[in-house]
Amino acid sequence: MRVWLLLGIVVLAGTAGEIAVTRAMKQIGEVREFHPRALLGVLGRAMRIGWMWLGLSLLAMAFFSLLALLSWENVSYVVPLTALSYVVGALRAKIVLGEKVDLVRWVGVLLVVVGVVLVAVG
């Protein structure tokens, strides 16, 4: 039971964190310059956006949950199960960010689900 609870935290908090960071970065705009001063400017603007802090907090929660999960289970079991984040990520990108997810991507998501089921029952 605790494995599935932590897996849920890894998947849900991780993808929610990615969505929040994406929202913050879309507010900042495209990064066009990659010299240190420009990157520090982008980092400074990002740190003033609440979505960035929320995203980083959720990603940290997912990371530490993954560490705990890996201390209990084999990596060959845990890592494939975390692929469920692709499913949640595609759904959240469509619903929260309004991204267009075409049929080919949904087929890919379905294949990931099939792979996760095979690992979970195997």
pLDDT tens per residue across span 71-114:
999 998 898 889 889 889 999 999 988 899 999 999 999 998 89
Amino acid 11: pLDDT: 94
pLDDT at 37: 94
Look at residue 15 in the predicted model and tell me its pLDDT.
94
Question: 37-61: per-residue pLDDT in tens?
Answer: 999 999 999 999 999 999 999 999 9
Q: pTM for this one?
A: 0.83
Q: Which residue has the tokens 């003033």?
A: 48
